[in-house]
Structure 1
């Protein structure tokens, strides 16, 4: 074999080894997604401000769906807990954070409610803890149930919370002299310091950040700070995704995580080995719910206001679709599924509509009847296609449903397929023997003096 062939094989092997790394798969997927969005923005004629807005929005949704998919993976992928009340834990997280960190009011004012005025980091911690405690309350009766019954309890919990937030009785009340409340149907105004400012202020770098915004103003005139804030916040959320990912990996590879996987495969067998499966499931459920609460806080804390009807069950199913796309049980798949869902199914229809309208003039009919009539009477599909393009945002849920049906029939294991998971804390593979070494250790008979074949039989116990 020539030297060039050897170098080629080494290069191919190195590339294959690099591709096997999960971080490479995630990085390649994100590079493709961002490349497509930037090229699409250029095609649509976006200026610098529009491109930054596009990338910031994409980054934000990739991060939040990846966060929530990772949290759900702890429940379903690791433990086999069928939780479809995700949005309820998101809601309790952000509502708790709002009550803790909103500016205080000390006298009742009609239609308004304040908070306790605590720092924003205290509110984030409080929201996460309360979501975990709610998980405990739900877990105590619900985890004795199986499959569909657990799902019914969790979705019922999320709807009970939403109607509680809508209740006029809880709209405003007094606690220790502070006027607080859930805001009723009008929701709550989030008047605390924005997270980007709070983050850089905590490290004494806010003036440096403002200097960076001034530099950006050269390319993005007319108040670039909101645009830069959105992009920076999305980047910060990606670092939180890395934290979630590392935490999930450590849980999965720990003895605790291996028990969770055993519960998922066969709870009765795990229980027969002396493991208190109810305790393990309760802990896993609490941790996952706390992470969902934190995900809800990070999603909605920059929105300026929150209302109860935002937290309808469809958000739960968005997260489930993201997890199914990537593959339950795979942390890498959860991140990739969140990215694909955000870029293709959540944000993609709007961009597709803009591209089509840029290429052709879409003269859509005013309603469904005028769109279908030409198709039936004259076999003319153009009005119906134009109507579909014009209504693509409203058809988003239909598209998601079709994608979900396809995945469940053709790729139920997700994007990455069935992946092997570690069953122990140390490698169990038999180490490779050097050339000429035999099974029991020592040298082969032909290599020994006198050909006795006795050799050294004290090989390492494997």
Structure 2
């Protein structure tokens, strides 16, 4: 039971990292991305290949996964930043499916649908399952804290204020002399890199990845996490991810108690329960459980160091 709780905590933390990456793109810059799982797959496969085939340490693999996801995110954003919400969503969804199909067919690189096994985990060979899960939870929590601090710094920086302005009205940003496309590319690359880190963490935790693991449903769960917690708020992203995983896992035990339903119907029932819970929350908390704060958008006036009062008319 303890191992199960630790495992669920690890998964929830990884989802929280992905939600923070999505918040940089969607919550801060207003860029719709339905291809999150594609960036996660890039990070997972890159880290897995670097550590299994090249024999490099896990931190090097994770860093390589982040850089690969950043590069892919930047290239994708260069051809999509001029698209509006609906078209951008379609293109990013197609990107995720393209990554999955490539991973399924390029057997020489990804081993196809058989996946990559034997991905190393930190001290997995010398620790018991309980000790490994506890250690890995500590690692991912520390990385989540690091990512959270970085995202908070972005949020309260001049760069973050420009991203918010782009989200609200990118025409005004252009009038103000800012190149909105450059800022969008940067936001997309940063968010993709964070999601790639989550993918690498998942690969080293499970020690096995395959194309079928990276399905669009994962993107949906992450978006639900951000909607539930609060779009534009990093704390909301973490809280929402934790709640979504708790609901998904708790319903795993509740649904079988419902009589006269098949396992397939039970799986669908879990999704219905999660969706219904989200609708109830949004009915009473339209901006999520932790609404976006606007204090970071306030530019404090500089103090008059000369001790003079401003001129009045």
Q: Distance in 2 between matches of 1:287 and 1:186?
A: 31
Alignment pair present for 1:275 and 2:178: yes
Partner deviation per Cα, 1:84-127 (whole Å, 9 max, x = no partner): 1000000011111111111xxxxxxxxxxxx2222222211111
Alignment pair present for 1:189 and 2:117: yes
Deviation of the 1:428 alpha carbon: 5.4
Alignment pair present for 1:265 and 2:174: no
Deviation of the 1:422 alpha carbon: 1.5
Change (3 A) 1:351 1:239: farther
Q: Secondary structure at the match of 1:283?
A: helix
Aligned partners of 2:3 and 2:129 also within 8 Å:
no
Aligned partners of 1:84 and 1:316 also within 8 Å:
yes
Aligned partners of 1:327 and 1:337 also within 8 Å:
yes
RMSD between superposed Cα atoms in Å: 2.4
TM-score (norm 2): 0.90
Alignment pair present for 1:90 and 2:40: yes
Paired position in structure 2 for 1:80: 30
Alignment pair present for 1:289 and 2:192: yes
Q: Distance in 2 between matches of 1:171 and 1:229?
A: 31
Higher helix share: 2
Aligned partners of 1:190 and 1:301 also within 8 Å:
no
Alignment pair present for 1:99 and 2:49: yes
Q: Distance in 1 between matches of 2:262 and 2:291?
A: 33
TM-score (norm 1): 0.62
- Paired residues in the alignment total 307
Aligned partners of 1:73 and 1:328 also within 8 Å:
yes
Pick the structure with greater CA Rg.
Answer: 1
Higher RCO (C-alpha under 8 Å, 6+ residues apart) = 2
Q: Distance in 2 between matches of 1:123 and 1:59?
A: 23
Deviation of the 1:62 alpha carbon: 2.2
1:398 to 260, 269, 272: 272
Residue pairs, 1:314-353, within 5 angstroms: 314-344=217-247, 346-352=248-254
Q: Distance in 2 between matches of 1:310 and 1:418?
A: 32
Aligned partners of 2:228 and 2:282 also within 8 Å:
no
Q: Secondary structure at the match of 2:131?
A: helix
Q: Distance in 1 between matches of 2:143 and 2:259?
A: 41
Q: Distance in 1 between matches of 2:309 and 2:262?
A: 68
Residue pairs, 1:190-205, within 5 angstroms: 190-192=118-120, 194-196=121-123
Paired position in structure 2 for 1:423: 297
Q: Distance in 2 between matches of 1:229 and 1:84?
A: 33
Q: Distance in 2 between matches of 1:147 and 1:279?
A: 18
Alignment pair present for 1:171 and 2:99: no
Aligned partners of 1:90 and 1:294 also within 8 Å:
yes
The gaps in structure 1 that reach 5 residues or longer are: 1-49, 103-114, 173-180, 199-209, 214-224, 363-384, 431-457
Q: Distance in 2 between matches of 1:162 and 1:329?
A: 29
Deviation of the 1:197 alpha carbon: 5.4
Deviation of the 1:138 alpha carbon: 0.6
